[in-house]
Amino acid sequence: MSWLKKHATTARAAAVVAIGSLALGACATNGYVDEQIAAVNARIDGVDGRANAAASRAEAANTAAQSAATEARNAATAANGAATEARAATQRLNTIEGRVNSLEAAPARTPRG
């Protein structure tokens, strides 16, 4: 009888144990998985922090831009008001200039007595 026939059951059991140990050896341990997840979480936290900082800077820039736009509208309104007042003053000056010219063109009066 051959050795294989005598020890077939033992050989099968040894083969199953060998294949099982190889298969289980390829599995990741909890510690390894935890380390990998921790590294990924650290990267995510870093990216999240940078994204929040960028969002804060963008919000501050938006607020500053809105404030500048409001100031520009107020300045434009004030400039329009000043232009209207300047036109009114020019019209009054033109009216007075006509009166002054007519007074200068009038004959000189001689004093009485």
Q: What is the pLDDT of residues 24-57, one digit of tens each?
A: 666 667 888 889 999 999 999 999 999 999 999 9
CA distance 38 to 26: 21
Residues 6 or more apart from 49 whose CB is under 8 A from it? none
What are the residue ranges of helices labelled H in the chain?
A: 3-6, 8-25, 30-105
pTM for the full predicted model: 0.51
Query: Using an 8 Å Cβ cutoff, are 13 and 6 in contact?
Result: no
